[in-house]
Amino acid sequence: MHSIRLRHPWQCERTDDTHVWSRKFNWPAELMPGETVQLVVEPMPLAATPTLNGTTLTTDANGGSDITSLLVKHNLLVITSSAASSGDPGRCP
């Protein structure tokens, strides 16, 4: 399994009732044939919906999503959550 860390810069947009975090990233250069890439968001906001390149992700029992087949040269991860479950409803964290 291949690990990547998506640290800053994340973009965050807020509407009256949602927070939308987005992060662009490239194909992992060190990914070897046969390796898988798991996405794990810690902590995942309650009632959050993660999408990668427009595809809604589902999580396994460990809270991960196998995103290997969804990766392209340039990727966009988006996590949408209700403002109430994202912490402070007045700002993007």
The dihedral sign for the CA sequence 25, 28, 33, 37: negative
Residue 10 lies in a domain: no
Q: Which residue has the tokens 């973009």?
A: 11
Residue 3 lies in a domain: no
Euclidean distance between CA atoms 85 and 45, whole angstroms: 6
Residue 29 lies in a domain: yes
Residue 4 lies in a domain: no
With 0-12 / 13-18 / 19 or more C-beta atoms within 10 angstroms meaning exposed / middle / buried, residue 78 is: middle
Number of domains into which the chain is organized: 1
Residue 14 lies in a domain: no
* pLDDT tens figures, 26-75: 998 888 889 999 988 877 777 789 999 999 998 877 778 999 999 999 99
The pLDDT of residue 90 is 45
Residue 91 lies in a domain: no
* Boundaries of domain holding 47: 20-86
